[in-house]
Structure 1
Amino acid sequence: MGVDYYAGILNGGVPDYNNWTLYENGTSSLSTEYATTKLTDLAIDWTAQQTKPWFLWMAYNAPHTPFHLAPTDLHSQGSLPTDDASINANPLPYYLSALEALDTEMGRFLSSLSAEERANTIIIFIGDNGTPNKVAQFPYEKTKAKGSLYQGGINVSMVVSGVGVDRIGIRETALISSTDLYTTIGNIASVTTTEIYNSTSFYDLFTDKKQPKENLSIQKKKMCTLLEVLIINT
């Protein structure tokens, strides 16, 4: 698929966030480092080696199941009991700990970039499905969350930030599918290409030049993994 370097997991999740198989360019090894932290370390190391403009697809598996307590220095949920009975009785704070840990580690990665790099980088953050039903919160119901075709299952957040994004703090109502990322990233990289099948660019939404209110595309098959962070250094 044109990926020169790959490091991470091969499935949508891990059986244990502190004991999992790391695959790096076809070689597997056992990692006992918290998965979100290890993936961030790998991203920091990789970007530090780049001497030309780069593209990073950071496919975190968090906050995927199994529900667990993330390292306490990465979240604000406190030192909760870690036995299965406690987690099963009230999984929400454990889920939130993994979510906060993800946010903390993303911040650590961004802080690792130099001021010059950040000034020439665009970040696209997107989820691939709704919240697991066991931890769904109002206004979403457990039967209308992940795994359903209701809003709580397929309508996910996406945030775009960085160089060339002039509409700071603006929320866009146009419907965007993750497959639209392909053509859009091509535009960001100034790649001249014909429209990719089932991929409509939303690059014009980064500025006030064009603000379409109609749907850009229909809901299509989403990319795998729970949270995607696509970071393009220009």
Structure 2
Amino acid sequence: MLKRILTLTAFLNLVLIPFVSAEKPNLLIILADDMGYGDLSCYGSKQIPTPNLDALAENGVRCTDGYVSASVCAPSRAGLLTGRYQNRFGFEHNLSPHDHVKPERLGIDIRQPLISNKLKELGYQTGIIGKWHLGDNIPEMHPNQRGFDYFFGMLGGGHDYWPTPQKNKLLLNGEKITKIRTPYLTDWFTLEANDFIDRNSKADKPWFLYLSYNTPHAPMQAKEEDLAKFSHINDKTRRIYCAMQHNMDNNIGTIVAKLKELGQLENTLIVFLSDNGGSVEVSHAINAPCRGGKGSNLEGGLRVPMIWHWPSKLPKETTYSQPVISLDILPTFIAASGAEAPKTQAFGQSIKNKKEAAMATDGVNLLPYLQGENKAAPHESLFWRMTLRAKSVRSGDWKLLVRAHGDPELYNLKEDPSELNNLHGKNPEMAAKLREQLIKWEGSLESNPLWISNNTWFKYNEKLYTRKFMLTQPEKDDPRDFWGFNALEENIK
């Protein structure tokens, strides 16, 4: 009898478990780095054709009002991977050494689970390829200790695109890379991503991959064959940026091709976004029609392209215009896996028990909204704060911005997406209502910032609000200067 039971168990393991695994969707985050809101052709670019990302948008859901939780890299990524406002656990600024902060605190609190931890518990093979930038001072902060089975990339915030065996910061899990697989880093990350997908798909295991490109973050470096396609652009930095964008789009196309080859595309949930708005000064990104850029709480710093693609579950040729945020990815992915999405933390609620707080989320499961089943807005309000830089709240069409170097600003984003007409003096009731929401949200945060940006950033931060910005898309070969701090073209406000 026991033998018959064991035989039946073996049969179920061989037959039913692969069947169950196949039912779980694969989950893929593709994250660009410092990419402009207006620098995909499906978001209006006339200079950068991005046919592969356009195809994902055409066959999925394109969000017009997608946001991240911070306007700079590290805190934005901390919010994305935890599904919580990173302000709740003190990760409010980019990482930098401070004498008053213990090195082991410079990163995401090791008690805070990440999306990788949660999906690993649900039976997923988990991987990160590319940029980490979430702390590395103690072994417990390493990606392999944060729920990722596989890690290839760099722990810091940037990397040369032409690594050499002698000069690189790349790791394969815990081992330093000493052999270059392919010369250009974006290509290499994609090869590793395709290998991860191929390996786990053939093993019939559901997988979660966080493909964290550093494209098009500085240093501005591109392949000659990509640069040749943009020789008509006079500005050198902009030309390199366009070439880097083109290269990333081509690489994403090979990932989609791999999924098709393996028969996995229909049951793979893909979300593409940038970690923050484009860096106008450094990389000559264009965030049009949004004013502002990386580092500011203007729309150009916080609003990013966001594309959701899951052919078997999400509609095609759909534009979604309600505000959504990167914090929504974690609960959406968990719900997509078949598990119950974590409970959204109530507005104004502060969870003092650290274990309970770590399990909460500020995001929501977007599937009912993207599928058209729920017509309401996913969020009543969204919030942002970088202490001593700026804080802001968006509720419906209205946004209140309070920055360190200026008077409060109130905008109606539906009527004024470029934030040119400050209505603070004309609508004091709405300004007071949003300020009350912002104060209530700040009062609910469980932690103060654990570190602050270097003071040298404050003067630079003022320029991010007072300089001129390109608010319309330039033509393919427009020769004008849109990026200098003193640019004065008529169509730059």
Q: TM-score, normalised by structure 2?
A: 0.40
Aligned to 1:63: 216
SS in 2 for 1:36: helix
Code of the residue aligned with 1:97 in structure 2: it is: A
| Residue pair 1:75, 1:100 contacting (<8 A) in 2 also | no
**TM-aligned CA deviation for residue 155 of structure 1:** 0.7
1:175/1:216 contact within 8 Å kept? no
| Secondary structure, aligned partner of 2:318 | coil
- Does residue 318 of structure 2 align to residue 174 of structure 1? no
Q: Which amino acid aligns with 1:102?
A: M
Residue of 223, 234, 237 corresponding to 1:91: 237
Deviations along 1:48-71, one digit per CA (max 9) or x if unpaired, are: 111211111111110111112235
Determine the C-alpha separation between the residues in 2 that align with 1:75 and 1:107.
20
1:149 aligns with 2:294: no
1:112 Cα deviation from its structure 2 partner? 1.5
Q: Is the 8 A contact 1:74 1:100 kept in 2?
A: no
How many residue pairs get aligned? The number is 211
- SS of the aligned residue for 1:46 comes to helix
Structure (1 or 2) with the larger CA radius of gyration? 2
* Post-superposition offset of 1:210: 1.5
Is contact 1:164-1:206 (8 Å) kept? no
CA distance in structure 2 between the aligned counterparts of 1:109 and 1:74, rounded to whole angstroms? 22
Q: Which runs of 5+ in 2 are unaligned?
A: 1-145, 344-359, 386-493
CA separation of 1:75/1:4 partners in 2, compared to 1, >3 Å: closer, same or farther? farther
Residues 94-144 of structure 1 show CA distances to partners (whole Å, capped at 9, x for unaligned) of 011101100000101211222521121111101111111131434455xx1
State the one-letter code of the partner of 1:202: L
Indicate yes or no: 2:147 matched with 1:2.
yes
Alignment of 1:183-202 (within 5 A): 183-195=331-343, 196-202=360-366
Moved over 6 A (4+): none
Report what 1:46 is aligned to. 196
Q: Which residue of 1 aligns with 2:187?
A: 37
C-alpha separation in 1, matches of 2:379 and 2:340: 24
Structure 1's 71 and 203: CA in aligned 2 closer, same or farther, altered over 3 A? farther
CA RMSD of aligned residues (A): 2.5
Give aligned-pair identity as a percent. 26
Structure 1 residue 7 displacement after superposition = 0.9
Give the SS at the match of 1:67.
Answer: coil
SS of residue matched to 2:263: helix
Greater displacement, 61-70 / 95-104: 61-70
**Which ranges of structure 1 fall in alignment gaps of 5 or more residues?**
81-85, 222-234
Q: In structure 2, do the counterparts of structure 1 residues 46 and 216 end up closer, same or farther at CA, with 3 Å as the change threshold? A: farther
The 1-side partners of 2:210 and 2:161 are apart by 20
Shift of 1:73: 5.2
Partner in structure 2 of residue 129 of structure 1: 276
Q: Check conservation: 2:297, 2:384, Cα contact below 8 A.
A: no
Shift of 1:78: 4.5
Conserved 8 A contact 1:180-1:201: yes
Greater displacement, 103-112 / 192-201: 192-201
Partner of 1:205: 369
Q: Distance in 2 between matches of 1:220 and 1:69?
A: 33
Determine the structure 2 residue equivalent to 1:18: 162
Q: Which amino acid aligns with 2:278?
A: T
**Cα deviation code 1:18-62 (max 9, x no counterpart):** 123221111111546211000000011111111211111111110
Query: Hey, what's the Cα distance between the residues in 1 that align with 2:255 and 2:228?
Result: 16
Q: Tell me, what secondary structure is at the counterpart of 2:363?
A: coil
Separation in structure 2 between the aligned mates of residue 197 and residue 117 of structure 1, nearest angstrom: 29
Aligned residue number for residue 226 of structure 1:
none
Contact kept? 2:158, 2:218, Cα under 8 Å: yes
For 2:341 and 2:285, the matched residues in 1 are separated by 40
One-letter amino acid of the structure 2 residue matched with residue 116 of structure 1: G
- Contact 2:322–2:378 at 8 Å: present in 1 too? yes
CA drift of 1:213 comes to: 3.4
Mapped to 2, the partners of 1:117 and 1:25 lie a distance apart of 26
Using the TM superposition, give the Cα deviation of residue 214 of structure 1 relative to its aligned residue in structure 2, in angstroms.
5.8
Per the alignment, do residues 94 and 209 of structure 1 end up closer, same or farther by CA in structure 2, a change over 3 Å counting? same
SS at match of 2:229: coil
| More moved, 124-133 vs 21-30 | 21-30
Q: Which residue in the other structure is 2:466 paired with?
A: none
- Structure 2 match to 1:110: 256
Which amino acid in structure 2 is aligned with residue 167 of structure 1?
P
- What is the CA-CA distance between 1:181 and the residue it aligns to? 1.0
